[in-house]
Amino acid sequence: MIDEYRSELVKFVGEEFLSESERADLDAETPLLEAGILDSLRVAVLLNFIREELGVNVPLARLDMRNFADIATLAAMLADLAPVRSGGAA
């Protein structure tokens, strides 16, 4: 599940927030805040994507910017918050 989140987040962040030439340098460890990729408006857009497309609600208590430092950290938080999916292998 965490790898799926990483992949989806890299794709979304690259397509929504970066130019085509910048996308090649984006990976799960790219510092999103330090590099200026995320700001408050983009975090809101990202949270909407996470809720609508990935099906994970991020509670206010988890909106600590440390959780948005990079895609790997964000994906780990989402895996922790994700609802258990029925019908799949445990």
Q: What is the pLDDT of residues 29-46, one digit of tens each?
A: 999 999 999 999 999 999
What are the two backbone dihedrals, phi and then psi, of residue 64, each rounded to the nearest 5 degrees? -80, 130
Residue 85, pLDDT score: 54
Q: Which CATH architecture has domain 2-81?
A: Orthogonal Bundle (1.10)
Instruction: Quick: pLDDT tens for 49-88.
Output: 999 999 999 999 999 999 999 999 999 999 999 986 544 4
Q: Where are the domains of the chain?
A: 2-81
The string over 55-76, giving b where at least 16 C-beta atoms fall within 10 Å of a residue's C-beta and e elsewhere, is ebebeeeeeeeebbbbbbbbbb
Distance of alpha carbon 31 from alpha carbon 37, whole angstroms: 8
CB atoms within 10 A of CB 81: 15
pTM greater than the 0.85 cutoff: yes
Judged against a pLDDT cut of 50, whether residue 90 lies above it is answered with no
